[in-house]
Homo-oligomer: A and B are copies of this chain.
């Protein structure tokens, strides 16, 4: 259970840790910046990528939304709900259109509604999701900017269309596995070995997607999915950001980083590092199975998260289009 993963962490003793160095980052893009590393995008880079598209085939990196889907409910957040508000037969019984049987019987109207935690399904975490000591990336304080309807700074509505070169780091496949062992922590060495073996050069501004294989359970076993803390180590995340200059990242697992945290002062240190300290948004629950099967390793990535005003995350259904060599 993910719940157990968190609890395991949270029952440790939490001595007050020094917060030296763990303050929200100050944006190099200026005091008004709310999108951090996504500022790396440029029209010129986009055009260069478009010109390298090798095939018309596209890969869908988003999961379906359905009642019972795996989601993070360990802290009480609402699981995905979906319900009918209008059905062809129901219209005949209820006649909420006031149109009468003849019209309702002809016009077979279906409507439906949903509710969910914003971090459900394939989604991107906005910079407002995690801060440090009451402030998020670029120093925006909750006291000043967090209303009852979300953040006035750093919310998901600020996220531009995300376009960049995508790189698949298929750790599970590289190790000859369908899925990494339960709670496996992907190390920096794992990444470096793979990149070397596959002759992949990560470039500044790339979008790196890491595959654990966990999606195997997404549609079939919700508890196995949410109970598996497999993910990437903080060390590896730091290397990708600081050494390689990635623009954004994604994983096919629940939290990108490995769970539970081994830092007793922080239950999601990868989240605070990426979002609050580095201004790097990232994606979770990305569906990488088709890319993996087809051995697509570099691609044009296009992601268009819903512009949920003030939100700490937004659903996204990313697209991958294979690129030719350059």
Name A's B-contacting residues (CB within 8 A): 6-7, 9-11, 14-17, 19, 22, 42-48, 50-51, 53, 55-58, 60, 62-68, 73, 75-79, 81-91, 93-94, 96-100, 102-103, 105-119, 121, 128-136, 142-152, 157, 160-161, 163, 264-268, 272, 276, 302, 304-313, 315, 317-319, 321
Cα–Cα distance between A86 and B267 once the two chains are bound (Å): 15
Q: Is the CB of B319 within 8 A of A106?
A: no
* Contact, CB under 8 Å: A14 / B113: no
What residues of B have a CB within 8 angstroms of the CB of A86 in the complex? 75, 77, 148
**In contact, B79 and A79 (Cβ under 8 angstroms):** yes
List B contacts of A97 (CB < 8 A). Answer: 6, 10, 75, 267
How many copies of this chain sit in the oligomeric assembly? 4
**Which secondary structure characterizes the binding site on chain A?**
mixed
Whether the pair B307, A148 counts as a contact (CB closer than 8 A) is: no
Query: In angstroms, how far is the closest chain B Cβ from the Cβ of A271?
Result: 8
Q: Which B residues are CB-close (under 8 A) to A113?
A: 77-78, 81, 83, 115-118
Q: Which residues on B sit within 8 Å (CB–CB) of A145?
A: 93
